Amino acid sequence: MSYDSDRLPTADCQLPKEAMSPAYDPANIFAKILKGELPSHKLYEDDETFAFMDIMPRGDGHCLVIPKQAARNILDVEPASLAAVMATTQKLARAVMKAFSADGVTVQQFNEQAGGQVVFHLHVHVIPRFEGVSLKPHTGTMEDQAVLAANAEKIRAALG
Ligand code: AMP
């Protein structure tokens, strides 16, 4: 099946993208991180994806994976870009398990305000989990930069 970037790419759901999701805003925070206009604790990068620490972590080692391609969320992303994001998500999930000797890992992804999305550039949360430890609130407290830097170093080391 050929892919028309203005339409949602499924055989049985050929709706215009704008019917489901507003236009991508190139001034969003993660677009600025990708352009190097805002700082981040970088963990990993390849041709299609970028991974960095979440600044308001729901647990130690909480990180984010984003596509380099402009996409607001899962409703407008190109499937190839989404596939690349998920491949990087798996790398990060394995790395945080190793880096923190975690018992499990939570992978989350939110779409549109009603779906819990706050930043409108597609991103996947990767959060190491520990038996008996609950997640902190979403976008709760800004983490100390030194803690983020130390956790980022552990994850980079685990990525090898
Ligand atoms: P959501 O859009 O609901 O998935 O949440 C956005 C996530 O981005 C939250 O977990 C925030 O803590 C995180 N966040 C917001 N600004 C930044 C930033 N400048 N660097 C890293 N993470 C951020």
Q: Output the ligand 1 site: residues, CB below 6 A.
A: 29, 38, 40, 54-56, 64, 110, 116-119, 123, 139
Query: All domains of the chain, ordered by start, with CATH?
Result: 25-127+140-159 (3.30.428.10)
At 89-142, the pLDDT tens digits run 999 999 999 999 999 999 999 999 999 999 999 999 999 999 999 999 998 899
Indicate the pTM of the whole model. Answer: 0.91
Confidence band, pLDDT 50/70/90 cuts, at residue 21: confident
Report the distance separating Cα 106 and Cα 119, nearest Å.
Answer: 19
pLDDT of res. 16: 65
* pLDDT on residue 15: 61
Catalytic residues: 123
Q: Which mutation among 43, 64, 127 tests ligand 1's pocket best, with the greatest number of atoms within 8 A of CB?
A: 64
Radius of gyration of the chain (CA): 16
In 5-158, beta strands by DSSP E: 42-45, 49-53, 63-67, 104-108, 124-129
- Please check whether residue 127 is in contact with residue 106, taking contact to mean a CB–CB distance below 8 angstroms: yes
Report the percentage of the chain scoring pLDDT > 70.
Answer: 88
Distance of CA 49 to the CA centre of its chain: 9
Q: What is the pLDDT of residues 55-90, one digit of tens each?
A: 999 999 999 999 999 999 999 999 999 999 999 999
State the pLDDT at residue 18.
65
pLDDT at position 33 is: 98
